[in-house]
Structures are given as C-alpha cells and as structure tokens.
C-alpha cells in the first residue's frame, strides 16, 4: 500500500545539496516500517531503548485508527518522523498516549470543545550531526504536525516533549505547561506536557513565521487527503492511502 505523499520546501543549510524535504502521511494500516525504523535508531542512539534484532520501535497507540504517522524524507531516506494521536470528545477507549502518564489529561479531555491532538514520538536521523540542521528538521516535523491539525480542524494541541525543547514551543507557539515533567516511556528522560488551543492566535503566529507559514493550496490539499487516512471518532471511516 502506497502512503500519501506531500512535497514541502525545507530550509536547508548551505552545505546541504538538497532542495526539498517531502512529508509522507501514513494511516494505521499502511506499511510504516521506514518511520518506525528511524524512530528505533533515534531512540537507541539517545539511550532510551536497548538494541533489538527487529530494528523498529512502535507501541499499541501506533495501531489505533485515530493515529497518523508523518515521515519526512530526503533523497529517498526517512530522516524525521512524528506521531499524531487524535481524540474527539465522547470517543470511547484509549486515544492519547500521554493519558497514562499525566494525571492532568482526563480534565483536558473533559473540557475539550472539539478535536484534540497529541504530538509525540518525534525522532530525527541520528546520523545527521549538524546541530542547526537537526533543529530545522525538528521544526519541520512540528510544522507538518500543525499543518495536519489545521487541515483536520483540531481545536486543542498537546505535546509531550523533553524539557530541553520546552522553550521552543513556548517561544514559537506560546504553549503553556499542562503537566509537570514525568518519565514518559521509553527511557528515564524528563518529559513535560504542554498544551494550547488551536485558535486564531496560533494561526496568526503560524502566518507570521516565515518557516511555519502555510501555502493555502498546501492546506487545501491536506484537507482533502488526510480525512481519508484517519478515523476521528465520528462517522468518518478510515479508507487508507490506497483510496487517494
């Protein structure tokens, strides 16, 4: 099954000979091995997990129909990945991975006025050692995630991130701390829970930021394609990328 592909310009350093990074969106039933293999390599390199002969890392939330996986590709190789987990008020069963870690999440869900999204499992190719370029890839993955949230009309964003990235979310997107740092599996690295509304304020911030600014045609394209890849807890059905 061939996953959906979206080409996006990427801001690269002068020593990079590529012009673009493309984002591939995966439904739960798609073959996501490249994204999971990159996640595995990144987590092993960071000391979060032990090496495994399987060479991939995933969990039960990756297989929920309310989950999307983004893979960012350069020259045919997956160099960054991000998971989006969706919860619609009233939906039954587990949906957000962070709800088992942070006691504040049930209240956030109870007060939600629309679709809630958790961004998690962000990983970058450990072979990329240029610090500035890694930071740009991190931002590119978040840009892809925010683009998907806008396309699917999400109302609430939550992010479980290592404390070293907290200032990025606070400065660029005005996220607020929603839960104190906890040990979010895997590993024993402190991870803080951040949250904010996907409101006009965030949309203005995105529009004013040259890196995060979205092309209207790009957003419209995602509005058509992404609903076919994810089940949002209502009457929509997962059709998978083969239907695109």
Q: What tens digit of pLDDT does each residue of 70-89 get?
A: 999 999 999 999 999 999 99
Q: Which residue has the tokens 């619609």?
A: 88
- Residue 239 falls inside a structural domain: no
Q: For residue 141, what is the domain's CATH number?
A: 3.40.630.30
- Residue 15 falls inside a structural domain: yes
Distance between CA atoms of 127 and 74, rounded to whole angstroms?
A: 13
Q: What are 169-198's pLDDT values in tens digits?
A: 999 999 999 999 999 889 888 999 999 999
Residue 44 main-chain phi, psi, to 5 deg: -65, -45
Whether the pLDDT of residue 16 is over 80: the answer is no
Whether the pLDDT of residue 243 is over 80: the answer is no
The secondary structure element, H or E, covering residue 207 is helix 200-208
Residue 20's pLDDT band, with cuts at 50, 70 and 90, is confident
- Residue 244 falls inside a structural domain: no
Distance between CA atoms of 99 and 130, rounded to whole angstroms?
A: 34
Residue 244's pLDDT band, with cuts at 50, 70 and 90, is very low
Residue 238's pLDDT band, with cuts at 50, 70 and 90, is very low
- Residue 97 falls inside a structural domain: yes
State which residues form the domain around 37.
4-231
At residue 11, the pLDDT reads 39
- Residue 143 falls inside a structural domain: yes
At residue 234, the pLDDT reads 56
What pTM, to 2 d.p., does this model score? 0.87
Q: How many domains, the chain?
A: 1
Beta strands in the chain (DSSP E): 4-9, 20-26, 67-74, 77-87, 116-124, 156-162, 176-183, 190-197
- Residue 88 falls inside a structural domain: yes
Least reliable range by pLDDT among 18-22, 23-27, 176-180: 18-22
- Residue 236 falls inside a structural domain: no
Q: What is the mean pLDDT of residues 29-57?
A: 96
């Amino acid at each position: 099954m061939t996953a959906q592909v979206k080409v996006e310009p990427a801001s690269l350093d002068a020593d990079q000979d590529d012009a673009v990074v493309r984002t591939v969106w995966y439904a739960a039933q798609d073959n996501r091995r490249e994204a999971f293999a990159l996640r595995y390599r990144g987590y092993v390199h960071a000391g979060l997990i032990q090496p495994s002969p399987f060479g991939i890392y995933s969990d039960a939330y990756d297989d929920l129909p309310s989950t999307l996986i983004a893979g960012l590709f350069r020259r045919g190789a997956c160099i960054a990945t991000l998971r989006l987990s969706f919860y619609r008020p009233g939906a039954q069963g587990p949906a957000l991975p962070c709800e088992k870690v942070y006691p504040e999440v049930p209240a956030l869900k109870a007060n939600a006025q629309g679709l809630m999204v958790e961004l998690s499992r962000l990983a970058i190719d450990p072979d990329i050692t240029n610090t500035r370029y890694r930071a740009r890839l991190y931002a590119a993955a978040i840009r892809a995630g925010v683009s998907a949230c806008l396309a699917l009309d999400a109302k609430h964003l939550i992010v479980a991130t290592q404390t070293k990235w907290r200032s990025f979310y606070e400065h660029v997107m005005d996220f607020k701390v929603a839960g104190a740092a906890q040990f979010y599996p895997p590993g024993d690295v402190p991870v803080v829970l951040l949250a904010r509304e996907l409101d006009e304020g965030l949309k203005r911030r995105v529009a004013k930021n040259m890196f995060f600014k979205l092309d209207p045609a790009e957003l419209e394209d995602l509005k058509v394609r992404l609903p076919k890849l994810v089940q949002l807890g209502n009457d929509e059905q997962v059709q998978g990328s083969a239907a695109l």
